[in-house]
Amino acid sequence: MCRATSDDESCTMLSELSTTMEDMPTPSSPIVGRASELHELATALGLGDGHPREAVLLGGDAGIGKTRVLLELTARAKASGFRLLVGHCLDLGDNAPSFQPFVQAFGTLDDETRESVGRAAGAETLLEPGRAGQDRSDVLLSVVRTLEVLAGEKPVLMVVEDAHWADASTRQLLRLLLAHTFAAPVALAVSYRSDDLHRKHPLRLALAEWARLPGVHRLELGPLPDRQVAELVQSRESTAMSGERVDDIVRRAAGNAFYAEELLEAGTGDTVPEELADVLLVRYDGLGQDARTVVAAAACAGGPVDDSVLAGVTGLDDATLHTALREAVDRRILVSVDDGFRFRHALLAEAVHDDLLPGERKRLHTRFLDVLLAEGGAAAEISLHAHAAGRADVAFDADVRAAADSTRIGGYHEAAVHLTRALEIVPAGEVHR
């Protein structure tokens, strides 16, 4: 048994999992950037000298490159003579089998090693997930012993991927391992998606506690700089790409390697590629109705938007609006900024905007237009909503004013864009200015 209370089904799943998943995927192209992060992590994990000093908690948004960095680290660890143990947490919700990543990792050991380590570490071990009647504390301690026995032969690097999906038993085990002082060299690296950690997420509290333990190092992987996203994009294409296309991908990916790859794969186009939109919209789909209304409105704003404008556009009363905004912020969809709220990632705004039905989109832009006209909003913003709302009369004036605003501060390119748009909406021969 996986543990005393698990059923046969999850045990079958586990054994399938441990035999079908490979350690770590093989990267198809060289890593771009991340030199300082790799140095920091490799030093903490003792990859150079086989003496781990700290366990590492590696966080970052989905697709930012955590696995890619871990891949690099595991390759270095292997080259330095480490034994590699890799386990993945899977998105199985309450059905996640207990100690899933450890069962998977131990499942990759060959029979001889399992037998000798099993003997040395004691009988109650996850090396034998089919055994019945194991006491929980015995299981926890047997994992510590197993790692210690393995590390007696050669240093061990244990990687637990995607801990945001970890089952409660795995979290408990990780807590024990992070607090334990191993007698042999055991390095531990745990990755998690920080954008999944909403306020009530069980890992959020756990991480705050784990990071305070001595010898635990937490690193948040930030976005890749623009020039590195450009390098990544260019390295994936055999033929030269136009500078404009590279710039477009770099701007929209905003430092996220996965988004850049997906945009590249999808070819040219203004809308968010379908597969990427599916990934992005999962979190939006999970919101309550009011929060969805607010997020849909924010997606039409074209940039940061303050709560008074959102109140006018959505028609929600103050209390409802603020509860909805709180939910969108907690779910890491919007962030609070000086001038109101904006999307955490511009591509998510694009995906939500694209996902609206045409009538709904037009209605929201019309509401923005009404609010901004009443409040005396900036001409460029009025132009955006007037075009999207199909209000050519307002759009023309707004574009002319926006062009004048841009010209005053030397923004000739933007001025030309506004004037071109203004000209496009008046029939030939009707321009008198």
Ligand X SMILES: Nc1ncnc2c1ncn2[C@@H]1O[C@H](COP(=O)(O)OP(=O)(O)OP(=O)(O)O)[C@@H](O)[C@H]1O
Residues 151 and 121 sit within 8 Å (Cβ to Cβ): no
60 forms part of the interface with ligand X (CB under 6 A) = yes
Q: Please select the residue that binds ligand X; options are 138, 261, 354, 370, rule is CB under 6 A.
A: 261
Q: Please select the residue that binds ligand X; options are 103, 121, 229, 257, rule is CB under 6 A.
A: 257
Stretch that binds ligand X, among 61-69, 289-297, 375-383, 390-398 (CB under 6 A): 61-69
* Minimum gap (Å) between residue 13 Cβ and ligand X: 21
Could you say which of Mg ion, ligand X, none residue 138 binds, taking C-beta under 5 to 8 angstroms by partner kind? Answer: none
Could you say which of ligand X, Mg ion, none residue 414 binds, taking C-beta under 5 to 8 angstroms by partner kind? Answer: none
Could you say which of Mg ion, ligand X, none residue 401 binds, taking C-beta under 5 to 8 angstroms by partner kind? Answer: none
Q: In the complex, which residue's CB is closest to Mg ion? A: 67
185 forms part of the interface with ligand X (CB under 6 A) = no
Query: What ranges make up the beta strands (E) of 64-146?
Result: 83-88
Stretch that binds ligand X, among 56-64, 86-94, 143-151, 167-175 (CB under 6 A): 56-64
How many positions of this chain bind Mg ion (CB under 5 A)?
Answer: 2
Q: CA 383, CA 360: separation in Å to the nearest integer?
A: 19
- DSSP 3-state assignment of 145? helix
* Minimum gap (Å) between residue 163 Cβ and ligand X: 11
* Minimum gap (Å) between residue 394 Cβ and ligand X: 43
Residue in 294, 281, 388 with CA at minimum distance from that of residue 341: 294
Q: Which is nearer to Mg ion, 65 or 340 (CB)?
A: 65
* Minimum gap (Å) between residue 79 Cβ and ligand X: 19
Residue found under tokens 């748009």: 421
* Minimum gap (Å) between residue 70 Cβ and Mg ion: 8
Q: In the complex, which residue's CB is closest to ligand X? A: 65
Token readout for 412 is 């000739």
387 forms part of the interface with ligand X (CB under 6 A) = no
- For CA atoms 335, 340, 343, 344, the dihedral sign is negative
How many positions of this chain bind ligand X (CB under 6 A)?
Answer: 18
Stretch that binds ligand X, among 253-261, 265-273, 291-299, 420-428 (CB under 6 A): 253-261
User: Going by C-beta distance under 8 Å and a sequence separation of 6 or more, which residues neighbour residue 207?
Assistant: 57, 59, 192, 197, 218
Could you say which of Mg ion, ligand X, none residue 231 binds, taking C-beta under 5 to 8 angstroms by partner kind? Answer: none
Q: Which is nearer to ligand X, 220 or 375 (CB)?
A: 220
Q: Please select the residue that binds ligand X; options are 11, 34, 75, 405, rule is CB under 6 A.
A: 34
Q: Which is nearer to ligand X, 182 or 258 (CB)?
A: 258
Q: Please select the residue that binds Mg ion; options are 18, 67, 98, 314, rule is CB under 5 A.
A: 67
258 forms part of the interface with ligand X (CB under 6 A) = yes
* Minimum gap (Å) between residue 282 Cβ and ligand X: 12
Q: Which is nearer to ligand X, 351 or 384 (CB)?
A: 351
Question: Which residues contact ligand X by CB under 6 A?
Answer: 27, 31-34, 60, 62-68, 193, 232, 257-258, 261
